[in-house]
Amino acid sequence: MKAIVHVGLKPGVLDVQGKAVANALTGLGFGGVQEARVGKVIELELAHLTDREEARAQVTDMCEKLLANTVIESYRVEIAE
């Protein structure tokens, strides 16, 4: 079973990487870039799991313990197949 985890900074948290991307794009001549925000996507291949809800629960647990810094980041779990 495949799971996709989207991790991004919570709204209101300063995204310095995003700001750097926006500035670099403006510097390259791309006008009109008002904002850029950078997040992570983690694709997991899980063996021995066939139940979608069980997989979702386990991946949520992984996010809380390792994949996301829940103080400043939010995450979304997607079970692909």
Does 12 bind a copy of itself (CB under 8 A)? Our answer is: no
Closer CB to a copy of itself, residue 32 or residue 71? 32
- Nearest alpha carbon to residue 75 among 2, 21, 10: 10
Query: Could you tell me the CA-to-CA distances from 60 to 5, 15, 26, 81 in Å, in that order?
Result: 9, 24, 37, 16
Among 10, 13, 16, 24, binds a copy of itself (CB under 8 A): 24
Report the nearest approach of a copy of itself to the CB of residue 15 (Å).
10
Structural element, H or E, at residue 17: helix 16-27
Site residues (CB under 8 A) for a copy of itself?
6, 8, 18, 21-22, 24-25, 28, 30-49, 58, 61-62, 65-67
